[in-house]
A and B are shown apart, each in its own frame.
Chain A
């Protein structure tokens, strides 16, 4: 069996993670992994909802050592977590925050070990070991699983490390995205494990948090973030130093914001293109070009079913749910998401899945989500709206019931109660009819 070590490119005394005054060396991390592995429950699957980033990496690594498969739900909403549990009943949960579950699924409480027990061996993990399963919300309402093997994750991380020069310098990574999200998982869990970079153990959220984290660094910082956070950071009126490179993903970054970020934070801004199914596949320097360049050894090809990503580590080609103009097998231009798929603040969802969840509510007779066109309002994020027929319930009750089922970013804003939906003669709800209804309601001729 071919194996790849849990960590690479670290010296024993190199910094692995830091948080406030705490410094964790690579040797300490390895010792922690062995200690935590001994505390895990004895089950094949573990749902990892841990928010503290160092603790997430530690528990993910400990699960690998125990040959347990980490399940990473699309969100922490009860519906998503319970949906995963239903399909993997022989699992337990790791969480450092309060959690609502429908089932008596066992929970495992793990803390960062305070003692040093002197474990030194860096575990070797089988290339073909199933390390994690990530999920996307499918159009059927059930989360769709995507398997991630250790060897494949290592291969993809190596491609990214080459692209961003992570082997050339020791970077300090600070990330604002959750470790359960594929982008956050790759950049803030796998980069630290496999490229020699050190990771900030917290999850900075407000601009002042990010600024504070950056100021605790003595080495060049790689900031892993999103357009939403970049907008907040550039507007915050703070002084930025030490940042070597900013990487943004989850939603397209417009050039104006990229330029502002580059000027305010004194670092080049690059973007990653990827999806949960294939992981990151391409990057670009936003201010230099619109063209996305595939990672080394990744290629694109067009066939009957659409545009597919091909790479040695992908067990089968992955079809992209995007409208893409192929320039050649290594370069493309992104024209937008296609059809059913929407993206709000970096969370990808399926309109038909959201409609299904809305229509399943007992108080709702009929309902449809609608994503208004971005009217160039740079200041605020475009949100979903929804039209709902529900004579017995008010907007608050509907929203409250819906919030149990869908991620908060997808909650309609506003939710319009209507007497009927604008079906056409054949009983179809066309985009055009929804657009007209939205215009009418928004302009005040409502209810």
Chain B
């Protein structure tokens, strides 16, 4: 697996905490693997939970009419990149 960057580490930890994934070690989340396994691993409620945690920590909002929204949530790497570009705090 490829190394997690510093932001990816932080975001992985945020996902594990936000979703209460007791059996997942944040360091084990493969940066390029799908977050929503075949579109279903995590579900839409999880997307909402992650968005809440991101808004609280990084101070920006998600919009579902963003044409990139599916890509942004496709992996830890894409989500972390999006956060890096949009973070206000």
Question: Is chain B found bound to chain A in the same assembly?
Answer: yes
- Once the chains bind, are B52 and A403 in contact (CB under 8 Å)? no
- Within 8 Å CB of A259, what residues of B? none
A380 within 8 A of B: yes
Q: How far is the CB of B53 from the nearest CB of chain A, in Å?
A: 9
State which of A206, A383, A409 has its C-beta within 8 Å of the C-beta of B64. Answer: A206
With an 8 A cutoff between CB atoms, is B23 at the interface? yes
The contact of B52 among A205, A235, A238, A411, by CB within 8 Å, is A235
Q: Mark B10-21, 1 if CB is under 8 A from A, else 0.
A: 000000001111
- In Å, the complex CA distance between A231 and B40 comes to 23
Using known A-B contacts A232-B48, A345-B45, A380-B18, determine if residue A403 contacts B63 with beta carbons closer than 8 Å.
no
A212 near B21 (CB under 8 angstroms)?
no
**B51 beta carbon closer than 8 Å to chain A:** yes
How many of chain B's residues have a CB under 8 angstroms from any CB in A? 27
Asked if A381 is at the interface (CB within 8 A of a chain B CB), the reply is yes
B84 within 8 A of A: no
Given the complex of chains A and B, what is the CA–CA distance between A135 and B55 in angstroms? 36
A400 within 8 A of partner (CB)? yes
**Interface status of B61 (Cβ within 8 A of chain A):** yes
B41 touching A399, Cβ below 8 Å: yes
When distances are taken between beta carbons in the complex, the residues of chain B under 8 Å from A207 are 51-52, 55, 61
Partner of A408, one of B40, B51, B59, B63: B40
CB nearest neighbor in B for A238: B61
Given known contacts A208-B62, A380-B20, A400-B38, A409 and B51 CB-to-CB distance under 8 angstroms: no
Question: Do the beta carbons of B37 and A208 come within 8 Å of each other?
Answer: no
Q: How far is the CA of A91 from the CA of B10 in the complex (A)?
A: 49
Q: Establish whether residues B63 and A209, one from each chain, have CB atoms under 8 Å apart when the complex forms.
A: yes
Interface 1/0s, chain A 197-218, versus B by CB < 8 A? 0000010111111001000000
Instruction: Judge if B65 is at the interface, Cβ distance under 8 Å.
Output: yes
Assess whether A314 is interfacial by the CB under 8 Å rule: no
Q: How large is the interface on A (under 10, 10 to 19, 20 to 34, 35 or more residues)?
A: 20 to 34
Q: Which of A212, A231, A237, A377 contacts B55 (CB 8 A)?
A: A237
The answer to whether B64 and A209 have CB atoms under 8 Å apart is: yes
Q: Which of B19, B42, B44, B65 contacts A209 (CB 8 A)?
A: B65
- Minimal beta-carbon separation of B44 from chain A (angstroms): 7
- The smallest beta-carbon distance between B18 and chain A, in angstroms, is 7
A sample of 20 cross-chain residue pairs with beta-carbon separation below 8 angstroms, ordered by A number, consists of: A202-B65, A205-B44, A206-B62, A206-B63, A207-B55, A208-B61, A228-B45, A235-B55, A236-B61, A379-B20, A381-B45, A381-B49, A399-B37, A403-B41, A408-B40, A409-B43, A411-B40, A413-B21, A414-B23, A442-B22
A-B CB proximity, top 9 nearest: A408-B43, A208-B61, A414-B23, A380-B20, A403-B40, A206-B62, A205-B64, A345-B45, A208-B63
